[in-house]
Structure 1
Amino acid sequence: MFFEKPIKEIEESDIERLMELEIPEDKNLEYKGDFNTDDLGHKRTLLKTVSAFSNTSGGLLIYGIDEEEGIPSELKGIEVDNKDQLGRWLEEYIRGNSEPKISSIDVEFIDKTNSDNSFILVKVPRSWNLPHKVTMGPKTKKFFIRRGRYSEEMDISDLRTAFNFSETLAEQIKRFREERISSILSDETPIPLKKGAKIVIHIIPINAFYPGLQYDIEQIYSDNQFRLRAIDAYSPKLRYNFDGLLGSELPDNEGLGSTYVQLYRNGIIEATNGDFFNDEHKIMSDGYYEKIVVKSVTEYLEIYKQINIELPIFVFLTVVGAKGYQMESDRDSNFGRRENLTIDRNVLANQEILLKRYPNNVGNVLKPAFDAFRNACGFKDSKNYDENDEWNPTN
């Protein structure tokens, strides 16, 4: 669908094709000919449409296209004096007049050839925190949903479904993670793994549990630029399996591996590595594993962009089989031991990290998880951040 294309990749030719092919408005696409920040009706319509998209399945609102019965009739664009200022206004206005706040929209401007006008694109993701209410004035404090090409007020049944979905989604994400951690601890993994503690990455898109959803993983298999790599794999392999795509490396002489990454067809990624742990001495790597995890998560998010996985997404970091391990430190070189610093539980399960946008620096968003793992070993925070808490890994 047109609205599923990454907003930064949409070009004027795409806008022109909407007219040429007479692409109609639907539950994910709406056209508006004009927009004025001083017009109360325009502002109400903006909030109503964005709320409805967010409460349904996401969508794209395009300003600068006149329509007749939902079919594009004229591509005229809109005169925009200051694009940066208008973009910030749109984001702040939507965020400030919705509850819970709709905060992950994207705004893009496409210049119209031979004109001073531009098309304004407002991309709204499907929400994970349903339902969202418009809070602009007493007459517009309502919930909206898309029915075909129209944004209509939600009825009691719609509201009940939305509230139940939010609760169910949170439970599904929690249950999936718990079940997978249990399976890893029970050696039920896509490849046989060596014994010992392991770091586990789970990346779960908001859309993963929608019925019937499957992504095109073929392009990941065939595109060398975006090949799926297991964490810190020296001799990476990639193959299809029952769940989707499996990346691993060559096993040892006993047929055991230390790392794999599983891309499920619904977009979920699970990646595991045990090389950051010395099982004989019960020692966990300190700063080095953080660098590798940041590198891997960055690569996985690039794959998400490639197959157009919609935000938001949840990132989880977990250490399994960790009880009794200690962490290397500047003071504890050569696998030195300090009994009072041993990890006191078998599973260190960090809280979810919610990504509403793709981060410019993955290391920055993973800091709470890295700090928590060091805390579990009796130390303060990660050493790979500077005095401003910016990702700045040490050598």
Structure 2
Amino acid sequence: MIPFARLEETDETVVRQLIDDEIRESRTLDYKVQLDLSKDGRQALAEDVCAFANTVGGDLVFGIREADGVADEVVPVILPNLDDELLKLTNSLRDAIEPRVSGGLLHQAVPLAAGGHVVVLRVAMSPNAPHRVRRNNHFYLRHSGGKETMDIHAIRTAFAFAGSLADRALAWRDQRLAVLRERIAPLLLERGPLFVVHLLPLAALTRRESIALDSLKAAANELQWAKPAGHPLRPPVVNYEGVICPPRIDGAAPGPGFAQLFHDGSIELAGAVTARQLGKPAISVLAPAQYELPLVEHSLPAIVRAIAALDVPPPAYLFVTLLEVAGQRVGFQRPDGQWPETPVIPGHLRELRAAPVYIEDFRTPPLELARAAVAPLWHAIGEEQTQTNFGGNAA
């Protein structure tokens, strides 16, 4: 992909730097002189998009001439109604590929001072790979020299790998929960119910290199404001796993929460859920609003800002979990109800692990993500969906 800047921050300076620094085409970067919107041109683009989606994602850059694979000259793309044309193009490319490539296809038109544009089409790695192009039923993959048709062995390998991605994501989540369950890392936590949020970008499952520590520290500055289960955090510090935002407490006592940014760009938030007194006579309950409101107002926005600072592309898996909740009462009041409800979490459910929410676009509203993520937690007490009143965030 294009180095130097995030997609939305790519400007003419970044484009010129590709040429000045002699950036070479690669497995994740392909230069095109023209943006060919003819029938044959769209077919060729569908093959390119298919290849990137089946591999590790990448950028198609239109308006740059290459010489022996190295960016050599800007050749502006001149098209009337460029925004409309790009919208139609991305929609047609999604439909030209099976399974459909949905959220992982973004474009950026970079205006040039001399007129015209350079157009960047970013393709995310797809968890639904392998894809094929509908028109010719061919599967494609991308390597440093360009795209190629997949043979039967490559197709079989791709199907096996795709199945393993989801399993690896769940295994990673379960391994992290095992660590938290024992309260052994990354720092000492209070005993009792714990609300946990994990974000695992697909890129973290496929790349082997670690993100630079300076980049992690800059991104973790955003996680300082995540407030897991409502608990404020301190500025980030370096630890073995990457960078952590510890709780705002004094001394070495067990803390109520933290935000951890790992070396691979994955994120873990954990916050203690404290029992509250509800009703007359008072009974001890867990109030979902304690962790659901901060999830929407603070945690998810902070996660998205941190991911943006790292320039980690979608897609990603979002997991939420409640630990140590067997037999706990949950206290809430329906929007149309007079009396509080206090159902009991069944005793055989020591923890509530929600199914992963697949995020195709990090611009998805936090409330939409949160509703999907916490719904399975409510199913445990017989409710179809969250009963939390999100007030002004309910739009």
TM-score range, shorter chain: 0.7 to 0.9
Q: Give runs of aligned pairs for residues 94-109 of structure 1, distance below 5 A.
A: 94-103=93-102, 104-109=104-109
Q: 1:235 to 1:97 in 2, by over 3 A?
A: closer
Q: Could you say which residue in structure 1 is the equivalent of 2:196?
A: 200
Secondary structure of the corresponding residue to residue 249 of structure 1: coil
Q: How large is the RMSD of aligned CA atoms in angstroms?
A: 2.9
Q: Is the 8 A contact 2:51 2:139 kept in 1?
A: yes
Q: Give runs of aligned pairs for residues 157-306 of structure 1, distance below 5 A.
A: 157-221=153-217, 226=222, 228-229=224-225, 231=228, 232-234=230-232, 236-251=234-249, 255-278=253-276, 282-294=284-296, 295-306=298-309
Q: Could you say which residue in structure 2 is the equivalent of 1:367?
A: 371
Give, in whole Å, the separation in 2 of the partners of 1:4 and 1:106: 18
Q: Is the 8 A contact 2:46 2:96 kept in 1?
A: yes
Q: What amino acid is aligned across from residue 314 of structure 1 in structure 2?
A: Y
Q: 1:79 to 1:226 in 2, by over 3 A?
A: same
Secondary structure of the corresponding residue to residue 236 of structure 2: strand
Q: 1:179: Cα distance to partner?
A: 2.1
Q: Could you say which residue in structure 2 is the equivalent of 1:29?
A: 29
The aligned length equals: 383
Give, in whole Å, the separation in 1 of the partners of 2:20 and 2:231: 48
- Does residue 153 of structure 2 align to residue 149 of structure 1? no
Q: Which of 309, 316, 329 pairs up with 2:312?
A: 309
TM-score (norm: length of structure 2): 0.87
Q: What amino acid is aligned across from residue 127 of structure 2 in structure 1?
A: W
Q: 1:149 to 1:385 in 2, by over 3 A?
A: farther
Secondary structure of the corresponding residue to residue 236 of structure 1: coil
Q: 1:206: Cα distance to partner?
A: 0.3
- Does residue 4 of structure 2 align to residue 8 of structure 1? no
Q: Which runs of 5+ in 1 are unaligned?
A: none
TM-score (norm: length of structure 1): 0.87
Q: 1:266 to 1:190 in 2, by over 3 A?
A: same
Q: 1:4 to 1:125 in 2, by over 3 A?
A: farther
Q: 1:329 to 1:202 in 2, by over 3 A?
A: same
Q: Could you say which residue in structure 2 is the equivalent of 1:352?
A: 356
Give, in whole Å, the separation in 2 of the partners of 1:218 and 1:282: 44
Q: 1:205: Cα distance to partner?
A: 0.7
Q: Is the 8 A contact 1:283 1:325 kept in 2?
A: yes
Answer with 260-269 or 245-254: which moved more.
Answer: 245-254
Q: CA deviation digits over 1:353-377, x for unaligned, max 9?
A: 1111112521122112333333433
Q: 1:202: Cα distance to partner?
A: 0.7
Answer with 62-71 or 104-113: which moved more.
Answer: 62-71
Q: Could you say which residue in structure 2 is the equivalent of 1:125?
A: 124
Q: CA deviation digits over 1:182-231, x for unaligned, max 9?
A: 33223333222222111110110101123523112424435785353552
Percentage identity across paired residues of the two chains: 21
Q: 1:261 to 1:277 in 2, by over 3 A?
A: farther
Q: What amino acid is aligned across from residue 79 of structure 1 in structure 2?
A: I
Give, in whole Å, the separation in 1 of the partners of 2:30 and 2:193: 51
Q: Which runs of 5+ in 2 are unaligned?
A: none
Q: 1:176 to 1:26 in 2, by over 3 A?
A: closer
Secondary structure of the corresponding residue to residue 78 of structure 1: coil
Secondary structure of the corresponding residue to residue 192 of structure 2: coil
